[in-house]
Amino acid sequence: MKKTLNVFFPLYTTTLLMLLGSGLLTTYVSLRLTAIQVSGALIGAIIAANYIGLVIGGKVGHVLIARVGHIRAYVSCSGIITAAVLGHGLTDLIPLWVVLRLIIGLCMMCQYMVLESWLNDQAASDQRGTVFGFYMAASYLGMALGQVVLMLQDGLGISTLLIIALCFALCLVPIALTTRTHAGHMSPAPMELKFFIGAIPKILAITLVIGMVVGAFYGMAPVYTSQLALSTRQTGLFMALAIFAGLMAQFPLSWLSDRYNRTRLMRLCALLLSVAALPLAVLPHLPFPLLLAIGFAVSLMQFSLYPLVVALANDLIAPERRVSLSACLLMAFGVGACVGPLLVGALMQPLGANILYAFFAVCAAGIAALTRAPKAAGEPAQAQDAPVPHTAMPDSLTSSPLSPALNPAFDEQLIQETMPAPASVNDDHLAAGEEETAFPPQGADPDSDTGLQRAFILLEDDATPGEVAEEEARKKTG
């Protein structure tokens, strides 16, 4: 374990800093918009734009990585995000904020893909579970620390945006300085959406509803606390405890999921979520300590649902389709995460802040009802190797279509067959007559004649530009 942590420490550090900035930005945007009295519907639209960007980024990321390499892709996306974060401080124009959030979501998905493909390439088969576990912990810990930073701020001024930009700027330093640059490219898993809609429609519907709940929580929970007249520090503490609950829930959940019927366990979690959310949905004012305790309990159940539905879905699907299944579940979750903030934002304006947790209760009741419904015609029975070992994982708002490759429950050979390296990665290099490689070079060619080399020649030999050009021509001709 210590060796694994040392080897992947730069990637884990990058993940933590990136999620720290992302978690802080999401809460900051909601609080800032509430402070300037933007309607709930518009806040929901801005939050949804971020998740739309995440979904689009799943298609764009592998093309970008294949063309320019892991380091260049990550550094360029980090630079764009940093500029977009600072753009929030330059204007309060809402349409521009929508565009900025969409761009940030798209670039962050590309960053997730860089990190996850890199981790997958460097992790040995017997290390995959440990590598994935540390990645999950870094993701949740980063998001929770982002809320802690919010607690230390006096208000919602430009200093908070500067801290967020600082995180996104610093997160590229470990990546840029690492010497482990030979990460191979891997395409996202192909999606057989039509097959899965016919085979497991209830599972996809449940995943979409879970996405609605989680997306609405991240985007609208800060609006809920603002309308309860909580301070920025209280909001930060509420969000930090809720996100930390998501990390705490994973470990007992893994133990229970491997020992009890997963359908019943998911139904129980959904019912408990519905019951736990009712006090926050019905009671307009609660003492702050009680609000924290109930919010923590709600998040324990809320963040248990996605890992359970993933495990249950894998029990129903043959091994050769499981990597494709993961991509479809991520897509369904992402669509739900776009819809959830829009619905809650539209309902908050006429019905008040408590509608957020009423929404959670209704969604949880719907999930429980779907797990009790009779099996749909044609829905497959459990696969022969079911139950698949349960794997603790972050929710899909902090993972990419490449995340199935990190899942230790999947056979590595099956992953390689289902998610092959893009055939077009080396086309440009081969067209130029270069030797084929498994990945494009991440840095400048040390043998190429660059402007810097010309400067050194001029300084060392005191040569004229014409003499330098003659020397270069002589080298080229042999």
User: What is the residue-level pLDDT of the chain in tens, covering all 478 positions?
Assistant: 666 667 778 888 999 999 999 999 999 999 998 888 888 888 889 989 998 998 888 778 878 887 888 888 888 999 999 999 999 988 888 889 999 999 999 999 888 888 887 777 777 766 777 777 788 888 889 999 999 988 888 777 888 999 999 999 998 888 877 766 556 666 666 677 788 888 888 999 999 999 999 999 998 999 999 888 888 899 999 999 999 998 888 888 888 888 888 889 999 999 999 999 999 999 878 899 999 999 999 999 999 898 888 888 888 887 777 778 888 888 889 899 999 999 999 998 888 889 999 999 999 999 999 987 555 444 566 666 556 766 666 666 666 666 666 666 666 666 666 666 655 444 444 444 444 444 444 444 444 444 444 444 444 455 555 555 566 556 555 5
Question: Quick one: 358 and 449 in the same domain?
Answer: no
Query: Which pLDDT score is estimated for 237?
Result: 93
Asked, for residue 318, whether it belongs to a domain, the answer is yes
CB 313 within 8 A of CB 203: yes
Domain hosting residue 72, numbered range: 2-418
CA–CA dist 395, 246 (Å, integer): 9
Question: Quick one: 173 and 112 in the same domain?
Answer: yes
Asked, for residue 439, whether it belongs to a domain, the answer is no
From 132, 165, 171, select the one nearest 16 (Cα to Cα): 171
From 179, 64, 47, select the one nearest 112 (Cα to Cα): 64
Query: Which pLDDT score is estimated for 10?
Result: 83
Question: Quick one: 101 and 237 in the same domain?
Answer: yes
Q: What is the CATH number of the domain that holds 159?
A: 1.20.1250.20
Question: Quick one: 97 and 182 in the same domain?
Answer: yes
Query: Which pLDDT score is estimated for 258?
Result: 80
Contacts of 188 (CB under 8 A, 6+ apart): 58, 59, 61, 62, 113, 327, 400, 401, 402, 419
Query: Which pLDDT score is estimated for 173?
Result: 87
Query: Which pLDDT score is estimated for 311?
Result: 84
CB 103 within 8 A of CB 46: no
Considering 418, 435, 470, which residue would you say is the last residue of a domain? 418
Question: Quick one: 402 and 453 in the same domain?
Answer: no
CB count, 10 Å around CB of 289? Answer: 8
Asked, for residue 38, whether it belongs to a domain, the answer is yes
Considering 400, 418, 436, which residue would you say is the last residue of a domain? 418
Question: Quick one: 410 and 456 in the same domain?
Answer: no
Question: Quick one: 343 and 476 in the same domain?
Answer: no
Question: Quick one: 406 and 473 in the same domain?
Answer: no
Helices 305-316, 322-351: crossing angle, 10 deg rounding: 140
Asked, for residue 425, whether it belongs to a domain, the answer is no
Total structural domains in the chain?
2
Asked, for residue 362, whether it belongs to a domain, the answer is yes
CB 206 within 8 A of CB 335: no
What token pair was written down for 39?
């309607």
Asked, for residue 423, whether it belongs to a domain, the answer is no
Asked, for residue 435, whether it belongs to a domain, the answer is no
**How many angstroms separate the Cα of 35 from the Cα of each of 1, 349, 388?**
45, 14, 47
CA–CA dist 311, 386 (Å, integer): 10
Question: Quick one: 199 and 140 in the same domain?
Answer: yes
Q: pLDDT per residue over 155-180, tens digit each? A: 778 889 999 999 999 988 888 777 66
Query: Which pLDDT score is estimated for 71?
Result: 82
- Cis peptide leading into residue 387 (ω within 30°): yes
Question: Quick one: 203 and 162 in the same domain?
Answer: yes
What token pair was written down for 315?
């029990």
Query: Which pLDDT score is estimated for 445?
Result: 43
Question: Quick one: 91 and 165 in the same domain?
Answer: yes
CB 125 within 8 A of CB 405: no
DSSP state of 477: T
Query: Which pLDDT score is estimated for 131?
Result: 79
**How many angstroms separate the Cα of 377 from the Cα of each of 293, 381, 424?**
42, 11, 41
CB 68 within 8 A of CB 181: no
**How many angstroms separate the Cα of 172 from the Cα of each of 1, 23, 74?**
25, 17, 7
Asked, for residue 31, whether it belongs to a domain, the answer is yes
Residue 329: half-sphere exposure toward Cβ, Cα within 13 Å: 29
Contacts of 157 (CB under 8 A, 6+ apart): none
CA–CA dist 273, 53 (Å, integer): 29
CA–CA dist 358, 279 (Å, integer): 9
Considering 369, 402, 418, which residue would you say is the last residue of a domain? 418
Question: Quick one: 478 and 396 in the same domain?
Answer: no
Taking the C-alpha atoms of 138, 144, 149 and 152 in order, what is their torsion angle to the nearest 10 degrees?
-140
Q: Find the length of the chain.
A: 478
